[in-house]
Amino acid sequence: MKTKVPKDFKAPDMTPYDGTSDPSYHLSNFRSRMYLTDASDATRCKAFPTTLTKTAIKWFDSLPLRSITSFDDLAKKFIARFSIQKDKAKHAPSLLGIKRGDREKLRNYVERFNKACLDIQNLLTEVTIMGLINGL
């Protein structure tokens, strides 16, 4: 807390985290912006709460004094607290639930299907084709 933030330091301009979405995305975004500014560990700790709002800032404000020893410590506590919001991993079998509606345009179905595919890691082309055909 005694460490001074450099006078030329600018807090990251990013959407504040409110506690309702995946915390890992917010943390990754924050870290990326801090690396660009070459911010010290102490500066990262001081800047992080400026990216929080609503439930998240209430959580931060409730942390006991001197309970954070480093930014990695703060990040772990942040992820632990908001991990319930973490996006659930999607798997290839979930594509089988995507069906084309009775009056849905083929273009709309394909767009919906493609968006679902983006959420699946290491998706094989063969599985994608089978899922697409199955939904028609």
User: What residues have CB less than 8 Å from 79, skipping those under 6 apart?
Assistant: 23, 24, 27
Whether 104 and 52 share a structural domain: no
Which residue in the block uniquely carries the two structure tokens 């319930």? 84
Q: Is the dihedral of CA 57, 61, 63, 67 positive or negative?
A: positive
Whether 44 and 75 share a structural domain: yes
Whether 39 and 81 share a structural domain: yes
Domain that holds residue 50: 23-85
Whether 33 and 71 share a structural domain: yes
Whether 39 and 69 share a structural domain: yes
pLDDT score at 89: 65
pLDDT score at 105: 95
Classify residue 5: in a domain, yes or no: no
| C-beta of residue 100 within 8 angstroms of C-beta of residue 106 | yes
**Confidence check: pLDDT of 121 > 90:** no
Q: State the chain's mean pLDDT as an integer.
A: 91
Classify residue 63: in a domain, yes or no: yes
Q: With bands split at pLDDT 50, 70 and 90, how would you rate the model's confidence at 10?
A: confident
Share of the chain above pLDDT 70, in %: 96
SS3 call for 22: coil
Classify residue 8: in a domain, yes or no: no
Of 69, 85, 101, which residue sits at a domain end?
85
Q: Cα 114–120–126 angle (5° rounding)?
A: 70
Classify residue 11: in a domain, yes or no: no
Share of the chain above pLDDT 90, in %: 70
| C-beta of residue 97 within 8 angstroms of C-beta of residue 125 | no
Whether 58 and 97 share a structural domain: no
Whether 71 and 30 share a structural domain: yes
- Both tokens of 17, joined, read 């985290």
Classify residue 10: in a domain, yes or no: no
**Confidence check: pLDDT of 58 > 90:** yes
| C-beta of residue 64 within 8 angstroms of C-beta of residue 45 | no
pLDDT, tens only, 15-43: 999 999 889 999 999 999 999 988 999 99
Classify residue 56: in a domain, yes or no: yes
Whether 66 and 99 share a structural domain: no
The domain total for the chain is 2
